[in-house]
Amino acid sequence: MSLPDFEQKKIIVALLSFGEKLSFKNDNIIITGTSGIRHQSSCYRLFAVILIGHTTITTGLLQRAKKFSFSILLMTHSLRPYGSWLSKAEGNVTLRKKQYFYKGAEIAQHIIANKIDQQIAAIQKRRSKSSELKEAIKLLKKYRKRLPNENYDFQDILGLEGIASRVYFGQMFDEMGWVRRSPRTKLDITNLLLDIGYTQLFHFVDVLLNLYGFDTYQGIYHKTFYQRKSLVCDLVEPFRPLVDYQIRRAHKLGQIHEKDFSVINKQYRIFGKTAEPYIEWLLKSLLEHKQEIFLYVQSYYRAFMQDKPIDLYPVFRGWR
């Protein structure tokens, strides 16, 4: 897929109510309910369809997804992913052999260096810079200078990333009662929103990687773990600050309301129609940079396949 083709593609997020179903007619995807057609889009322009809630999907729609190369992602009303029907490039054996034989740490260092650069750029966007913020930026720049380092192994990279992230999160969410990043525990509203935003980012990058035929379970930084798409975990890293900044921005704009959330078994949750505006503004942060993310994955594929030197691997520059 070329960039001009990708620019014309749409991502549809459908929050489904009871009884609504998906089907197709004349190469259009249609969402229908008791009151008739709710949404209709041409299959030619689809990149991905994210379905939230319970629905029925026809075999004809799945066939169209294969024919027109768009992906279908399924999530519960509590925004937990439970299934997917991905558009894939099949049989890229050469690529997968390269993945399985690659054991170096160069690419991992490159990715984490890019992530720290974007963390710095994200907190530098703050207009008012306290002494604490200035010190945090100074520390992050100090950590960034440690990469690349030919003596670093994966544990060294992981340790540096962890230290940098603690400094960064402390300043990004300092006005939101930040305690710590705790993935999937949903211990507060900010962690829940991070989980939702990162999940959207994860699926977006996953779909892009599948276009080239990567084994998304074979990582170059995150180690192989049962049923974990480690390569997706790797390549989302430079883009995470997009989600972080959007959450901080929403807080400043008064778009986050505690009454919208429920606490179940000491975990914050958000459901149904109440979640719709949160999903919308979180996804917006990614769609504003969708071309850059597409080109990053495309360039990564070309660099990896052609064994290019590390300085020719892609760098996401975000706001810089």
Q: Region 145-162: what's the mean pLDDT? A: 95
Sheet-wide strand order for 46-52: 10-15, 46-52, 71-75, 81-85
pTM of the model: 0.89
Half-sphere exposure of 142 (CA within 13 A, CB side): 10
H/E segment holding residue 241: helix 240-252
Q: Which residue has the higher pLDDT, 61 or 269?
A: 269
Q: Region 150-170: what's the mean pLDDT? A: 95
Model confidence pLDDT, tens digit, residues 173-183: 999 999 999 98
Q: What is the pLDDT, as a whole number, of residue 83? A: 84
At 21 the three-state DSSP class reads: strand
Closest CA to 116 of 137, 88, 91, 86: 137
Q: Region 245-262: what's the mean pLDDT? A: 96
Q: What is the pLDDT, as a whole number, of residue 154? A: 93
Q: Determine phi and psi for 75, rounding to 5 degrees.
A: -135, 150
Provide the token pair at 258: 């505690």
pLDDT surpassing 60 at residue 320: no
Domains annotated on the chain, with CATH? 3-85 (3.100.10.20), 93-312 (1.20.120.920)
Q: Which residue has the higher pLDDT, 242 or 271?
A: 242
What's the CA gap between 310 and 232, in Å, rounded? 19
Residue positions counted in the chain:
320
pLDDT surpassing 80 at residue 21: no
Q: Which residue has the higher pLDDT, 11 or 245?
A: 245
What's the CA gap between 152 and 57, in Å, rounded? 49
Q: Region 205-210: what's the mean pLDDT? A: 92
Q: Which residue has the higher pLDDT, 152 or 2?
A: 152
Provide the token pair at 50: 């994210």
Among positive and negative, which fits the CA dihedral 108, 112, 117, 122?
positive
